[in-house]
Amino acid sequence: MKNTFILGIEGTAWNLSAAIVTETEIIAEVTETYKPEVGGIHPREAAQHHAKYAASVIKRLLAEAKEKGVEPSDLDGIAFSQGPGLGPCLRTIATAARMLSLSLDIPLIGVNHCIAHIEIGIWRTPARDPVVLYVSGANSQVISFMEGRYRVFGETLDIGLGNALDKFARRAGLPHPGGPKIEACAKDAKRYIPLPYVIKGMDLSFSGLSTASSEALKKASLEDVCYSYQETAFAMVVEVAERALAHTGKNEVLLAGGVGANTRLREMLNEMCEARGAKFYVPEKRFMGDNGTMIAYTGLLMYKSGNTLTLEDSRVNPNFRTDDVNVTWIKEEEMKKVPEISPEAFLRAPPGERLDNGAEAVIYLDEGPEGKKVLVKERVPKLYRHKEIDERIRRERNRTEARLISEARRAGVPTPIIYDIEEFKLKMQFIEGVPIKYLITPELSEKVGELVGRLHSSGIVHGDLTTSNLLLAGERLYLIDFGLAYFDKSLEARGVDVHVLFQTFESTHRGHETLVKAFEKGYGSTFIDSKDVLKRVEEIKKRARYA
Ligand X SMILES: C[C@@H](O)[C@H](NC(=O)OP(=O)(O)OC[C@H]1O[C@@H](n2cnc3c(N)ncnc32)[C@H](O)[C@@H]1O)C(=O)O
Ligand Y SMILES: Nc1ncnc2c1ncn2[C@@H]1O[C@H](COP(=O)(O)OP(=O)(O)OP(=O)(O)O)[C@@H](O)[C@H]1O
Closer of 33 and 357 to ligand X (Cβ): 33
Contact between 155 and ligand X (CB under 6 A)? Answer: no
Among the listed residues 10, 3, 244, 207, the one whose alpha carbon sits nearest the alpha carbon of residue 115: 10
Active site residue 188: no
Is 284 annotated among the ligand-binding residues? no
Our CA dihedral for 245, 248, 249, 250, rounded to 10 degrees, sits at -70
Angle at 145 between CA 140 and CA 148, to 5 degrees: 125
Residues from 389 through 448 that contact ligand Y (CB under 6 A): 416, 428-431, 435
Is 262 annotated among the ligand-binding residues? yes
The 3 state secondary structure assigned to 269-335 is HHHHHHHHCCEEECCCHHHCCCCHHHHHHHHHHHHHCCCCECHHHCCCCCCCCHHHCCCCCCCHHHC
Selection from Fe ion, ligand Y, ligand X, none that 246 binds (CB < 5 to 8 A by kind) is ligand Y
Please identify, among the stretches 74-82, 146-154, 290-298, 335-343, the one whose residues bind Fe ion according to the rule CB under 5 A: 290-298
Selection from ligand X, ligand Y, Fe ion, none that 375 binds (CB < 5 to 8 A by kind) is ligand Y
Bridge partners, residue 109, by sequence: 79
Closer of 118 and 471 to ligand Y (Cβ): 471
Please identify, among the stretches 236-244, 253-261, 446-454, 496-504, the one whose residues bind ligand X according to the rule CB under 6 A: 253-261
Residues from 191 through 250 that contact ligand Y (CB under 6 A): 243, 246
Catalytic residue among 464, 497, 529, 532: 464
- CB of residue 424 vs ligand X: minimum separation in angstroms? 31
Contact between 481 and ligand Y (CB under 6 A)? Answer: yes
Closer of 124 and 394 to ligand Y (Cβ): 394
- The C-alpha R_g of the chain, in whole angstroms, comes to 24
How many Å from the N-terminal Cα to the C-terminal Cα in the chain? Answer: 46
- CB of residue 328 vs ligand X: minimum separation in angstroms? 22
CA pair distance 266, 259, nearest whole angstrom: 10
CA pair distance 448, 523, nearest whole angstrom: 8
Among the listed residues 160, 102, 153, the one whose alpha carbon sits nearest the alpha carbon of residue 135: 160
Among 104, 330, 355, 540, binds ligand Y (CB under 6 A): 355
Please identify, among the stretches 117-125, 224-232, 478-486, 502-510, the one whose residues bind ligand Y according to the rule CB under 6 A: 478-486
Among the listed residues 159, 466, 113, the one whose alpha carbon sits nearest the alpha carbon of residue 295: 113
- CB of residue 276 vs ligand X: minimum separation in angstroms? 24
Selection from ligand X, Fe ion, ligand Y, none that 355 binds (CB < 5 to 8 A by kind) is ligand Y
Contact between 224 and ligand X (CB under 6 A)? Answer: no
Question: In this structure, how many other beta carbons lie within 10 angstroms of the beta carbon of residue 172?
Answer: 18
Q: Which helix H or strand E contains 265, and what residues bound it?
A: helix 263-276
DSSP 511: S
Is 364 annotated among the ligand-binding residues? no
CA distances from 93 to 21, 72, 201, 546 (A): 18, 18, 37, 18
Among the listed residues 239, 84, 241, 237, the one whose alpha carbon sits nearest the alpha carbon of residue 153: 241
Residues from 183 through 212 that contact ligand X (CB under 6 A): 183
Q: How many residues bind ligand Y (CB under 6 A)?
A: 24
Contact between 92 and ligand X (CB under 6 A)? Answer: no
Closer of 14 and 430 to ligand Y (Cβ): 430
Contact between 364 and ligand Y (CB under 6 A)? Answer: no
| Residue pair 479/414 in contact by the 8 Å Cβ criterion | yes
Contact between 299 and ligand X (CB under 6 A)? Answer: no
Task: Write the DSSP assignment of 152-205 as a string of letters.
Answer: EEEEBSSS-HHHHHHHHHHHTTPPSSHHHHHHHHHTT----------EETTEE-
Contact between 289 and ligand X (CB under 6 A)? Answer: yes
Among 137, 154, 201, 463, binds ligand X (CB under 6 A): 137
Among 19, 65, 120, 361, binds ligand Y (CB under 6 A): 361
Contact between 10 and Fe ion (CB under 5 A)? Answer: no
* One character per residue 25-64, x = contact with ligand X (rule: CB under 6 A): ----------------------------------------
Question: In this structure, how many other beta carbons lie within 10 angstroms of the beta carbon of residue 387?
Answer: 11
Is 270 annotated among the ligand-binding residues? no
- CB of residue 477 vs ligand Y: minimum separation in angstroms? 13
Among 7, 49, 61, 113, binds ligand X (CB under 6 A): 113
Closer of 187 and 354 to ligand Y (Cβ): 354
The one-letter code for the residue type at 228 is S
CA 170 vs. chain centroid, Å, equals: 25
Q: Which helix H or strand E contains 430, and what residues bound it?
A: none
Is 361 annotated among the ligand-binding residues? yes
Contact between 363 and ligand Y (CB under 6 A)? Answer: yes
CA pair distance 356, 426, nearest whole angstrom: 15
Among the listed residues 360, 353, 479, the one whose alpha carbon sits nearest the alpha carbon of residue 426: 360
Among the listed residues 431, 378, 393, 392, the one whose alpha carbon sits nearest the alpha carbon of residue 409: 431
Among 29, 76, 155, 166, binds ligand X (CB under 6 A): 166
Residues within the annotated binding site for L-threonylcarbamoyladenylate? Answer: 134-138, 166, 179, 183, 262
Q: Which residues contact ligand X (rule: CB under 6 A)?
A: 12-13, 84-85, 113, 136-139, 160, 162-163, 165-166, 177-180, 183, 257-259, 261-262, 289-290
Q: Which residues contact ligand Y (rule: CB under 6 A)?
A: 243, 246, 346, 355-356, 358-361, 363, 375, 377, 416, 428-431, 435, 468-469, 471, 480-481, 483
Residues within the annotated binding site for ATP? Answer: 355-363, 377
Q: Looking at the annotation, which residues are catalytic?
A: 464
